[in-house]
Structure 1
């Protein structure tokens, strides 16, 4: 069985790493599985992509399509053109896509038009917010997928309601957590630890990248000022996404306790998360990692595609209103944050379940 694995952006690399490791283990045992890794080049900054291959021991991609940036339409078109050329030159039995980035949707469409089966890892998650590009990517990908690998029973339910046959849905757990647990002992201090003089549980980590939060300067500064005014002077470490960095350059003076740094590699970023007092974010994947690490998480969004991080984990969905943010930070500093638990099958073994299922499907 020939499998083509597609990865294009930072969140993808953490998801394909354990799957690749599981496939390599099966290959050593002589099982009839072979794979190739296609890097679409959607994230082309070294800190957004290449360092992950090195840190997570992922083999160099068999090909890098080098698509790069552009508008949503430009990037989607570029991905489809480049991947179609690759797939026609290198036929495969199955295209495996992960997550919800543009590469996921674009390459799934190309595969189906080339009459190739598609497997989607992290299928079925929904925010039901069509202003999010990722939600459209999820919906389109799942509408043409053949095999659905899910992280939760909620995702299973979403797929069943959409008319997906139950026999094609496989509840396997969360590959992001496979990567987290496999590398937890390897986390390492980033340079900012010494530069700022950080102490465990005495700083916060901030990540913002969603257009609704960062594309308008006044709105972004309101968020920043609300956060810094309610964190009791503790350092706030902000590894900044490239799209946000350009906006910050026009905002003028920033609060003294806000420390903006370049994007970090996986091992350094998660060291910061693990030892922080809390994380403030608009990301989805980070809410999964904080849940498993037991770190309080404040999500500046009105909806989430990972509701189990709220109902079971340490995450709370706050919206972006100053009053809700201030109130949540007040509870955090008063010691009133929930402890949280770990969702079912988030146990570090999801990739093995995926590969075993692929073997059964091929038999």
Structure 2
């Protein structure tokens, strides 16, 4: 049995890593022929954005790198489709497994079904109900052609059922991103770039969504608000490449520490030791919920509502007053206490592999 696994961005690598380890464990335990090919589309091409993940997550270098690089959504999607089709035509597989909601996910899903191969979507059924988000379009298109769905929550199951997907094709397994988190917590390391900084009390900040960072005025207004609200606390800000050019003058900020993107284990170390996180990332909403760390999300909606209903996350949109008050609440310890969703236990990948063997045998 052969599985082709697709990854293209930082979050993708975090999600496929435990699946690869689960495949190896299953093959060893059950003495069966279970092979995989890891295809890296090259959607993230900077080593700090992808390359270091292979070492940090203890997975081998990809078997194939499509090297599509950065370009517009349409051009990138087209490049991935052409290159991935060529790969599948030259290499037999029993199914293609895609994760998440990036361009690589959608592009490889369409190619897979055009070639009449089985398609598996890990994290199927997530919905923000906001079609202005590129990721939402990718989710909808991917799920419209998927054969088998592995979901993170009951809410995702319900989304798929409402869209007419048969219950027999939906499997609630938990969150593979949490699998990686659980395996990595004891291996985290403090970033060298921050050696010598007084970080007894700090917030972690990440921003990358076009709606938040492409407008330099909006971005710098967010940063000035965060810088002021932090008070005496530092704000560690690993700057995403698309964000870097929009920051007008780093010298304007007293509390924000601007640093390059961090490898996974260093970023995780900063997250788990922070007093709170301000972000617009989907995955970080999940990780902070598991770690029970306060999370403030600069978005109007989320495809991960469980992080709000159950976890430690709150949406504040673009409301600067809420941004200020949220940071102040966290600083004085008045943030809500969350719990962990069902099946977010570090074993989702094992459930996926066991069910895949059953489905494909």
TM range (shorter): over 0.9
Equivalences for residues 114-263 of structure 1 within 5 A: 114-199=115-200, 202-248=201-247, 250-251=248-249, 253-263=251-261
**Partner secondary structure for residue 96 of structure 1:** strand
Q: Is 1:340 aligned with 2:338?
A: yes
Structure 1: unaligned runs, 5 residues or longer: none
Query: Alignment partner of 2:296: what SS?
Result: strand
Matched residues in 1 for 2:202 and 2:55: separation? 28
Tell me the SS of whatever aligns to 2:116: coil
| Counterpart among 292, 295, 303 of residue 294 in structure 1 | 292
Where do 5+ consecutive residues of structure 2 fail to align?
A: none
* Structure 1 ranges of 4+ moved more than 4 A: none
Tell me the equivalent position of 1:355: 353
- Which residue in the other structure is 2:66 paired with? 65
- Cα displacement string for residues 195-226 of structure 1 (whole angstroms, at most 9, x for unaligned residues): 32211xx1000000000100001011111111
| C-alpha separation in 1, matches of 2:188 and 2:84 | 34
Q: Deviations over 1:273-318 (max 9, x none)?
A: 1011100000010011111111110001000000001111111111
1:331 aligns with 2:323: no
Partners of 2:216 and 2:264 lie apart in 1 by 28
Superposition deviation, residue 193 in structure 1: 3.7
| Kept after mapping to 2: 8 A contact 1:217/1:251 | no
How many Å apart are 1:33 and its aligned residue?
Answer: 1.7
Asked whether 1:108 is paired with 2:106, we answer no
Tell me how far 1:252 sits from its aligned partner: 6.2
Deviation at 1:253, TM superposition (A): 3.6
User: Which range moves more in the overlay, 330-339 or 181-190?
Assistant: 330-339
- The equivalent of 2:40 in structure 1 is 39
Shift of 1:333: 2.2
Q: Deviations over 1:209-263 (max 9, x none)?
A: 0001000010111111111111113111100111111222x44643121111010
In structure 1, the partner of 2:5 is 5
2: distance between equivalents of 1:309 and 1:254? 33
Q: Is the 8 A contact 1:80 1:106 kept in 2?
A: yes
Distance in 2, matches of 1:251 and 1:214, equals: 15
Match of 1:321 in 2: 319
CA distance in 2, matches of 1:152, 1:134: 18
Taking structure 1 as the reference length, what is the TM-score of the superposition?
0.97
SS in 2 for 1:119: strand
Q: How far apart are 1:355 and its partner, in Å?
A: 0.3
Q: CA deviation at 1:349?
A: 0.3
| Superposition deviation, residue 59 in structure 1 | 1.2
2-side partners of 1:121 and 1:254: how far apart? 42
Matched length: 360
CA distance in structure 2 between the aligned counterparts of 1:181 and 1:86, rounded to whole angstroms: 33
1:312 corresponding residue in structure 2: 310
